[in-house]
Structure 1
Amino acid sequence: MKKSSNKQLLMNKTGDEIQVALVEEGRLVELIIERPESRRSIGDIYLGRVHKVVEGLKAAFVDIGQKSDGFLHFSDVGTTNEDYRALIEDDDDDENGGVDDGDDAPQGARSGDEPAAGANVKSAARSGSKAPSADDQDRAEKRQSYTQMIAGKLKPNDSILVQVIKEPISSKGSRLTSDITIAGRFMVLLPFGGGQVAVSRRVVARKERSRLKKLVRSMLPEGFGAIIRTVAEDQEETLLKQDLEKLLAKWTQIEEKLQDAAPPQLIFKEDTIISSVLRDSLTSDVTEIVANSQLIYKETLNYIQWAAPEMVKNVTFYQGKLPLFEGYGIAKDVESIFSRKVWLKSGGYIIIEHTEAMVVVDVNSGRYAAKREQEENSLKTNLEAAREVVRQLRLRDIGGIIVVDFIDMLDQKNAKKVYDSMKTELRNDRAKSNILPMSDFGIMQITRERIRPSLMQRMGDQCPACGGTGVVQARFTTINQIERWLRKYALQHNMKFQQLDLYVSPTVVEPLQNSDMKTELKWFLQHMLFVQVKPDESLRSDDFRFYSRKNNKDITAEYGDI
């Protein structure tokens, strides 16, 4: 299949797992995975119960029914907390808080130009470094006063309406906010926005900004606010009104559910993974949207017929013989997520290491260069590595502190080129990040927004052999590889009713035996092959072997890579 120079959205359903891939220039750059046991919770709204308030941490711990209490920092407690409490207790929402209005939309939790559901709508602007002034002192005193005020308002066992802005990571609970937002295609609704309307800073035309503000403000019910998203630019009034009506209907459902709710309780569940991805990733440069499931295809088509009818022609149902990701040449990119080493076209490579505190990336030239060419080759490898590092950060959804050790260069101008290249590449990333120039030791420091565990953590189970010091491929990922192997074998083999023995690690046998339909029967109905699953303790959880029962021959490598 030819590689496209444009963006593609590939929606792959395998069993209960849904994978959505964003492909740019024929290469995988983002992968979103959802399984029944690990559904996304960003944007979910809960009626929680305050467990404890720790003024020293400037935070409260809130029970929302998850394994660990959610973390609610005082800075994420909206000034409208009393309004929510009034709504819960008295159904009285006459008073409404507000959000800062202005020419620029507040920065969101994920999208890069406006908040998605669950984003904290407080202004994220920060002033540069400067000597403390009287104004700074005054602001510090006000912050201290605000902290004490919030600590005084939040009491243990209080009910509070909160929204998830970061998923649980390791032993940490969800990060919460009480500034509720509901994201739509063209705008984000602020139920207690006090009539304030902001426009994404990426809408630069002053006349269009004014039109959108005036239009949305005329539509909003009293007390509501909104943030207008970039994709609303040049859209007709009818579409904006339809989007707002959907958001208001969701808020009405939340109000109704709150009347009989008892904490901790889920009040509102964010859209499905398909709707969320389309809402946040559907731009004019997406030239192809492909789904291999009829249900996902219909959901996608319905959404696009409403949101972007001119793009309906770009939606197709995949009917290729090979699995979807293999048909589009990105299957190996998916499997490379578990690889420490990533090769560069120049012959160099990068090593990605996860530690408790940070992720460390080491850039290596991979081959000797003559001394007079060393600076030039180092620059070339570093520039290529900078592009690949950003791609890997997006692909693996790596957040937190990232330290990149580039190849040493003598010329500071070359170091500046690498820094500028890294900044340029990060502009395409929807997650917010900060980057510092390269140090004299060739070290570059990056912080990238982390709102959920990295993809490697979500796709991997803890290794029983190393006690968690390393990560191995998840059992379900191995099962998906087995099913891809069977599909390829069935396509390339003319004879049906072949008898095969499948040897896998005992840890993989367990989910195969515990599925709703007996796996061996399911595979027979799908491929007309008799497969008998057998445990083999010598195999790793990411390995498997197929043997022909007729001659006891290992045929695994003949019909697909493992």
Structure 2
Amino acid sequence: MKKTVKKQLLMNKSGDEIQVALVEDGRLAELIIERPDSLRSIGDIYLGRVHKVVEGLKAAFVDIGQKSDGFLHFSDVGTTSEDYRALIEDDEDDDGTESSQDGKNSDQASSGKGSQASGRDTAGGSRPEKGGDGRSQQAEKRQSYTQMIASKLKPNDSILVQVIKEPISNKGSRLTSDITIAGRFMVLLPFGGGQIAVSRRVVARKERSRLKNLVRSMLPDGFGAIIRTVAEDQEEELLKKDLEKLLVKWQQIEEKLQDAKPPQLIFKEDNIISSVLRDSLTSDVTELVANSPAIHQETLNYIGWAAPEMQKNVSLYQGKLPLFEGYGIAKDVESIFSRKVWLKSGGYIIIEHTEAMVVVDVNSGRYAAKKEQEENSLRTNLEAAREIVRQLRLRDIGGIIVVDFIDMLDAKNAKKVYDAMKNELRHDRAKSNILPMSDFGLMQITRERIRPSLMQRMGDQCPACGGTGVVQARYTTINQIERWLRKYALQRKVKFQKLDLYVSPTVAEPLTAEERRTELKWFLQHLMFVRVKADESLRSDDFRFYLRGSGQEITSDYSDL
């Protein structure tokens, strides 16, 4: 019998920050945070300007008004790009448009996050014939498609694009020109050419057919749609209302495009409350709680039309404790920034972020008798597998994840851990791939990454270590200071000069210790008066030399470090 998971949506407003927590069986499963300085941009539509086309990368860089140019891969350039240009360029040739969407994958599923339906065949011609040269024909088609797209995209061209991945580190947004507008029950494809797809999670053939026929009867000519999982068994009236809302949004986009000049934001995705309700509100959510009257009313308004039977589950929080503390998840929120996560068995996992990937190390945490070692390792690994997936969801970690499990001798046990990890990932809305455990106990996972992790978005880089987690030993800094002094004395050949040396308090401590008599030692070595001063704004690997009296900094002029 399948276990029923109790789910709650807690919506907490504190100042300008809004936090939405998805709680499963009393534990925090997902946390979405939005601040004025970190607004979500997934799904936003821009009129951009092509900055440059790099055929070798099969991509174009598009200026959409952000700090870095957006990245538009040729595979994300729709075959209907001419239709977009017809909206924004008055001098477009009448016969230059393409409305065919034959290349669309008619059964592409929505991921539940408003993601794009981008399945596409190569441009032009028919499918390759069966035979030994089929692969080469495919390669030729891909090359032809690349050349076609490169010839269409020119610097300074205007192009309508949508954000599918937010900027991460120094990389700009990932863009697509396959525009989609996500609703509660369907995703509208403005240039879908009549194609209709149904989420693969809707299994019953009769229901799939019913949904397709209903939506097909309501869609205007030229539009397409992806029918989402939550549309299953819904009445025609609800589907119609959802489609009408989406068509109004598209009409507003068309109107705004008439006078738009790139780079310009054309359409802003729904706010955090509406988008979370749209994507996370399922029949198994038993409680929706808000601590803000405005958010409470917004929730009631949305559910009033989308899921009226769930209005009874919505409430305004009246407790004395803060919302998250009242529901016992405050500690879970704080744990997001901890690199060590304890397991009930006494073991723990360590989560380390690197530039290229995230590494997770599983540790038993205590000694086990040899005869029980395999059993204990399996038990700890299985518990760790569940917690790792929970942490991936909670911290919104994406990209490449490598897990170093505790070594096990039995291959069957390794298979059990792999199966447990796969089963846990089924509850994750983000797309992921997983490989079986290697002989070295390593498991590789890739998880969809559409924005920086929660830790990257909500945390500041440590000023002491620069984000490395390690600071330079203070005696290494002292050695660097002494090399600088030696070089300065040799080059300047000025005796009895007075200098002020500013260092962090941790470095100043041994330099000013009475037993070291550092300042006297430097005077005898270099015939210079050096006075050491502590500066809390400096890192442990940094130092500054100033000429006493004039206050001129001379560090960089004579640095050999």
TM-score (norm 1): 0.79
**2:62 corresponds to which residue?**
62
**1:121 corresponds to which residue?**
118
**2:150 corresponds to which residue?**
151
Instruction: Answer whether contact 1:118 1:182 (CA < 8 A) is retained.
Output: no
Query: What is the deviation of 1:469?
Result: 2.3
Unmatched segments (≥5 aa) in structure 2: 122-130, 471-534, 540-561
Query: What is the deviation of 1:442?
Result: 0.4
Instruction: Answer whether contact 2:79 2:98 (CA < 8 A) is retained.
Output: no
> After superposition, what is the alpha-carbon deviation per residue over 1:64-122, rounded to whole angstroms, capped at 9, x for unaligned?
00000000000000001011001111398985242656663x244x52xxxx4352432
Supply the AA of the counterpart residue of 2:7: K
Instruction: Answer whether contact 1:9 1:20 (CA < 8 A) is retained.
Output: yes
What are the residue-to-residue correspondences of 1:396-411 with 2, within 5 Å? 396-411=395-410
Counterpart-to-counterpart distance in 2, 1:145 and 1:95: 17
**2:250 corresponds to which residue?**
251
**1:432 corresponds to which residue?**
431
One of 93, 98, 101 as aligned partner of 2:101: 98
> After superposition, what is the alpha-carbon deviation per residue over 1:371-402, rounded to whole angstroms, capped at 9, x for unaligned?
11111110000000000000000000011110
**1:345 corresponds to which residue?**
344
Counterpart-to-counterpart distance in 2, 1:399 and 1:229: 23
Supply the AA of the counterpart residue of 2:18: I
Unmatched segments (≥5 aa) in structure 1: 125-131, 472-535, 541-562
Query: What is the deviation of 1:138?
Result: 1.3
Instruction: Answer whether contact 2:190 2:223 (CA < 8 A) is retained.
Output: yes
TM-score (norm 2): 0.79
Counterpart-to-counterpart distance in 2, 1:58 and 1:174: 16
1:217 matches 2:220: no
Supply the AA of the counterpart residue of 1:85: R
What are the residue-to-residue correspondences of 1:60-209 with 2, within 5 Å? 60-90=60-90, 96-98=99-101, 104=107, 106-108=108-110, 110-111=111-112, 116-117=113-114, 119-122=116-119, 133-209=132-208
Distance 1:273 1:455, change over 3 A: same
Instruction: Answer whether contact 1:337 1:456 (CA < 8 A) is retained.
Output: yes
**1:543 corresponds to which residue?**
none
Counterpart-to-counterpart distance in 1, 2:290 and 2:447: 30
> After superposition, what is the alpha-carbon deviation per residue over 1:321-378, rounded to whole angstroms, capped at 9, x for unaligned?
0000000000010010111110000110000011111110000001111111111110
Query: What is the deviation of 1:468?
Result: 3.1
Instruction: Answer whether contact 1:44 1:118 (CA < 8 A) is retained.
Output: no
Instruction: Answer whether contact 1:77 1:177 (CA < 8 A) is retained.
Output: yes
Distance 1:120 1:206, change over 3 A: closer
Supply the AA of the counterpart residue of 2:44: D
Distance 1:206 1:103, change over 3 A: farther
Counterpart-to-counterpart distance in 2, 1:366 and 1:291: 39
> After superposition, what is the alpha-carbon deviation per residue over 1:32-74, rounded to whole angstroms, capped at 9, x for unaligned?
0000011000000000000000000000000000000000000
Counterpart-to-counterpart distance in 2, 1:415 and 1:133: 39
**2:44 corresponds to which residue?**
44
Supply the AA of the counterpart residue of 1:247: L
Larger Rg: 2
Counterpart-to-counterpart distance in 2, 1:440 and 1:283: 40
**1:551 corresponds to which residue?**
none
Counterpart-to-counterpart distance in 1, 2:253 and 2:360: 44
Counterpart-to-counterpart distance in 2, 1:431 and 1:470: 29
Secondary structure of the 1:415 match is helix
Secondary structure of the 1:279 match is helix
1:423 matches 2:422: yes
What are the residue-to-residue correspondences of 1:253-402 with 2, within 5 Å? 253-402=252-401
Instruction: Answer whether contact 1:101 1:198 (CA < 8 A) is retained.
Output: no
Counterpart-to-counterpart distance in 1, 2:219 and 2:57: 37
Query: What is the deviation of 1:191?
Result: 0.2
Instruction: Answer whether contact 1:118 1:177 (CA < 8 A) is retained.
Output: no
Q: CA RMSD in A?
A: 2.1
Instruction: Answer whether contact 2:364 2:377 (CA < 8 A) is retained.
Output: yes
Supply the AA of the counterpart residue of 2:12: N
**1:474 corresponds to which residue?**
none
Instruction: Answer whether contact 2:5 2:284 (CA < 8 A) is retained.
Output: no
Instruction: Answer whether contact 2:105 2:119 (CA < 8 A) is retained.
Output: no
Instruction: Answer whether contact 1:5 1:26 (CA < 8 A) is retained.
Output: no
Among all aligned residue pairs of Structure 1 and Structure 2, give the percentage whose two residues are the same amino acid: 85
Secondary structure of the 1:36 match is coil
Counterpart-to-counterpart distance in 2, 1:122 and 1:269: 24
> After superposition, what is the alpha-carbon deviation per residue over 1:176-218, rounded to whole angstroms, capped at 9, x for unaligned?
0000000000000000000111111111111111111011001
Instruction: Answer whether contact 1:99 1:122 (CA < 8 A) is retained.
Output: no
Instruction: Answer whether contact 2:47 2:266 (CA < 8 A) is retained.
Output: yes
Instruction: Answer whether contact 2:105 2:120 (CA < 8 A) is retained.
Output: no
Query: What is the deviation of 1:421?
Result: 0.4
Counterpart-to-counterpart distance in 2, 1:323 and 1:94: 56
Distance 1:404 1:133, change over 3 A: farther
